[in-house]
Amino acid sequence: MSNITASKLGEELEKFLKSFKNKSGKKIYKTRISQIVSSGSISLIVDFNDLLMHDIDKANMLITDPDTGLERFKKAAYESLRIENSSYAEEIRKDLTVRIRNLVDKVPIRKVGTAHLDKLIEITGIVVRSSDIMPLAVEAAYKCISCGDTNRIEQDKMILRRPRSCEKCESGRDFELIEKESVFIDYQVIRMQELPEELPAGQLPQSYDVSLVRDLVNITRPGDRLTLTGIVRAEPEYSQGRGKLRVFKSVIEGNYLEVMGKEPETIHLSKEDEELIKTISNETNVYERLIESIAPAIHGHETHKEAILLMMTGAPRQQLQDGTAIRGDINVLLVGDPGTAKSELLKFASHLAPRGLYTSGRGSTAAGLTAAVVREKNGMMMLEAGAVVLADLGIASIDEFDKMRTEDRSALHECMEQQTVSVAKGGIVATLNARTSILAAANPALGKYDDYRNITENVNLPTPLLTRFDLIFILKDKADRTRDEELARHVLEIHRTGEYAKSPPIEYEIIRKYLAYTRNLKPKLTPEAEDKIMEYYLKMRGMSDENMITVTPRQLEGLIRIATARARIMLHEKVTEDDAIRAVSLIRRMYETVGVDVKTGQVDLGVLHGKPLSERNLLELALDIFKNLEGPDKKPVDENRFIEELTATGKMNNDEAKKMLQMMNQSGAIYEVKPGSYRKI
């Protein structure tokens, strides 16, 4: 470090602020000081690279001894500001702060250690917790009990410092704090954690508490990604009755913070990358090649891979004039037999996405998925972000979706449609962004998928949640000699060579860049695409019986999202007729599996909305028979008599009649007054 004196350093920094010119020849800091006055700001932002160009020694001193460097910088900024506007300079003299950004070397949060104590560093991370804004005393006014004089004590530690003796009478030892005459500033604590995509496999994420003061408070909230400049401090831990412990806690004193851009910044695209992406998009069968490049270690599953590919890019989120947001993210649910590679598809998707998180339903709670309010040791309430908030503008893969508790699963309703997470706990009321695509996987309730049962009977998921998924697919494990042989050869080849049995058409890194590029496109619907989508929607609305539940506007929006995502994948400026046809094809494939009523063999979306028409007709029939048996006197109905009447209709056998009685009892339509006798509610 240079042996330059403090006064000399101040002069040099003042000279830098007055005379430094950028490449265009403009005195940028002289302009910024003028802007402080006009905007009523209290901070001067200095680019570290500018200081480095001006004087390397001064720049290095700022890193190694930030306390001295920033103090002299503050005085230099004050002197420059005083020339510009002396009255405003005097008004903000105590609050004026110099903030440094764009340090040359960023330090990973995992690498911050004792070597960085009392040094200026720059880190990048995600905010997982934030506290309320609180007053922090910077000057405490104490009244002497003996003589009544007021003693003012500067405060620079977290523990409030009291005067040892009265400055006036010198004998006074008892003091009373006068809050009205003390000076306070805004104070907030946030917790920064490593970015999920940068976390080494199998490691716990490292995090640091960051203290923010004055104009840095309330800039950020949980889920935001930050670049932060600050000074690392060691704060003592306390033990009751023993005082300070030998172990200290590392905290960061925030100097400057910047919320990173809305779109994922993890993938940098060069001009060469963009040219390569455009070349790939012009090749024949590019869509099929992209599908084949998704999870190449898994054999087959082309339809499911297509759904994941479209989900990766999604559709643009639209904001209407009244503030209403139209969701662009696509939610996908995979239901399938054990061993059908559902988890592998989920893990691949979470790795491929620029912001991807993988979690398992068994180990996830509502608070862990959405947001929670946590009480710290010191009693401070902090808002903590969950998985879907941390995966904002990315993908949240939730495995074992059926194993989650009902109350935990229901927390996702708001996130999947409104794309926000609302919290009202412990006095904290907040709404966080959760613009996340949900990719979920569930196992059938009976172990294997039963073709003779509808999806709601196969999967223990509530109807409101099922309808929030744009795409639902079933993965069945059926014995097929040819297919089984192909799969076995594929798996054996991977195990024998330790490489893909067949090289993917597009490499992993290139497809990541390709998908990142597509997310910047905003294709508009063409009249031809609108006609195709409307034609399919009206056809589905007008099909079969008038009492049958058909597609709803929610499914129409899903169809538009899928068509737009396909246009993005193909790098189209507009959603073409071909994009709409492929979207309709994918939706049709879904309805041909999950939307078919197994009793009639017809597509009936009542399967997803509760009960298909066939079941609702039988239930109405059963209720009518029960009502007739009750008679006008509402007498209890005998179980055996009811079953006989049901079977006499010829629409169900004895076992189905017993099942209907059991279902009516469980749903609350009837109740048992005594063994074998029922009454309608």
Residues 6+ apart with CB under 8 A from 113: none
- What is the C-alpha to C-alpha distance for residues 500 and 489, in angstroms, rounded to an integer? 12
Query: Tens of pLDDT along 622-650?
Result: 777 777 777 777 777 777 777 777 777 76
- What is the C-alpha to C-alpha distance for residues 194 and 89, in angstroms, rounded to an integer? 39
Residue whose token pair is 């070397």: 105
Domains and CATH numbers, the chain: 6-101 (3.30.1640.10), 109-259 (2.40.50.140), 271-594 (3.40.50.300), 613-680 (1.10.10.10)
Answer yes or no: is pLDDT of 5 > 80: no
- What is the C-alpha to C-alpha distance for residues 657 and 622, in angstroms, rounded to an integer? 9
Q: What is the mean pLDDT of the chain?
A: 79
Answer yes or no: is pLDDT of 246 > 70: yes
- Cα–Cα separations (whole angstroms), residue 374 to 280, 353, 357: 49, 30, 22
Instruction: Kindly report which listed range (116-125, 142-151, 485-494, 600-609) carries the lowest average pLDDT score.
Output: 600-609
Query: Tens of pLDDT along 347-373?
Result: 888 888 777 788 887 777 777 788 777
Query: At residue 261, what is the residue type?
Result: G
- Cα–Cα separations (whole angstroms), residue 283 to 225, 303, 509, 629: 37, 21, 18, 70
Answer yes or no: is pLDDT of 45 > 80: yes
Closest CA to 474 of 512, 500, 448, 494: 448
φ/ψ of 96, rounded to 5, equals: -60, 130
Q: What is the mean pLDDT of residues 233-244?
A: 74
- What is the C-alpha to C-alpha distance for residues 532 and 529, in angstroms, rounded to an integer? 5
Answer yes or no: is pLDDT of 114 > 50: yes
Query: Tens of pLDDT along 393-425?
Result: 888 888 888 888 877 777 788 888 888 888 877
Q: What is the pLDDT of residue 275?
A: 84
pTM for the model: 0.70
Query: Tens of pLDDT along 483-521?
Result: 777 778 777 877 777 777 677 788 888 888 888 888 888
- Quick check: 406 and 365 in contact, CB under 8 A? no
